[in-house]
Amino acid sequence: MTVLGIDGGGSKTKFLLEDDNGLEIARLETGPSNWLSAGAAAARESILEGLSQLPEPPDVVCGGFAGAGRPESAAFYRDCLQQALPRARVLVETDAFIAYIGAIGIRPGVLLIAGTGSIAVGRREDGFMVRAGGWGPYFGDEGSGHWIGREAVRTALRAYDAGEFPEFVSAVERGLGLRSITDAPLAWRKGNADVRLVASLAESIFQQYPAEPANRILNEAAAHLRTLVETAVRKVGAPACPLSVAGSVAAHPIMQKLLGLSASPPQHPPERGAIIWARSTL
């Protein structure tokens, strides 16, 4: 029996096909499959392109997709997979869920994910999943790459007002491809600066650490991420449960130091988490 795990994200979609013995048959990657951010057509294409490249159709497929916690999104992904693989058993979960299973397994614990966005997901002893954060770039995702980037732009505009931190302001201008930081609001309004570009500033903020104002921004990000973890741990109800961190921001050595949490790296990537989950339900 072959099992396919899919990790569907906002920038790429990963496919892993394994045989009965858990040995890899194929591994490949296509474009974005978050149907809310990339659009339904592009998401469907990324998924179908990946499936068409497999050497054989799987017996079971488990896909983790952003937004699949909403019924209409889950239905979209389910239809997509079932139509392309009419004989397969299809499971659709959220991207955070399969990341959790990959990172920690079936047992209780908490996984903090912070890349472009941020969320903490936890699993209780009874199997019930809990979450904190993950509310998107406008109202949430505190401490994420996008949050760090937006805070960097805000800080640069305030520094411009006050005539402070000229090198910091220049770094943000360069990161956004702007001649002047004062063009940032218009660039955002016109769509020339989007969530991904703003999130890409985070790397430069890490590079400037421990200089100010990077130091303040990263410490505030760490405080937000710790709050996510604390909320999730409380909801799991097991204070000493295992903790794992993933994502370009949470897994960054500087952020690990600032977080000061005792965490292990994920045991497996999300696409393997999808396979582990599929097997556990057989």
Q: What does the binding site for its own copies look like in residue numbers (CB under 8 A)? A: 36, 70, 131-133, 135-136, 138-140, 142, 150, 153-154, 157-158, 161-163, 182, 184-186, 188-189, 227, 231, 234-235
Q: How many CB atoms lie within 10 A of CB 98?
A: 31
Pick between residue 6 and residue 148 the one whose CB is nearest to its own copies: 148
Residue 85 identity (one-letter amino acid): L
Q: Least distance from C-beta 180 to its own copies, angstroms?
A: 11
Query: Which DSSP state fits 132?
Result: E
Q: Least distance from C-beta 244 to its own copies, angstroms?
A: 19
Query: Which DSSP state fits 135?
Result: -
Q: Least distance from C-beta 153 to its own copies, angstroms?
A: 5
Pick between residue 82 and residue 204 the one whose CB is nearest to its own copies: 204
CA distance 3 to 276: 9
Q: Tell me whether the omega of the peptide bond preceding residue 57 falls within 30 degrees of 0, making it cis.
A: no
Pick between residue 138 and residue 253 the one whose CB is nearest to its own copies: 138
Contact predicate 274/98, CB 8 Å: yes
Specify the pairing of strand 89-94 against strand 60-65: parallel
Q: Least distance from C-beta 165 to its own copies, angstroms?
A: 13
Residue among 83, 115, 109, 125 at smallest CA distance from 221: 115
Pick between residue 87 and residue 190 the one whose CB is nearest to its own copies: 190
Q: Least distance from C-beta 232 to its own copies, angstroms?
A: 8
Pick between residue 185 and residue 265 the one whose CB is nearest to its own copies: 185
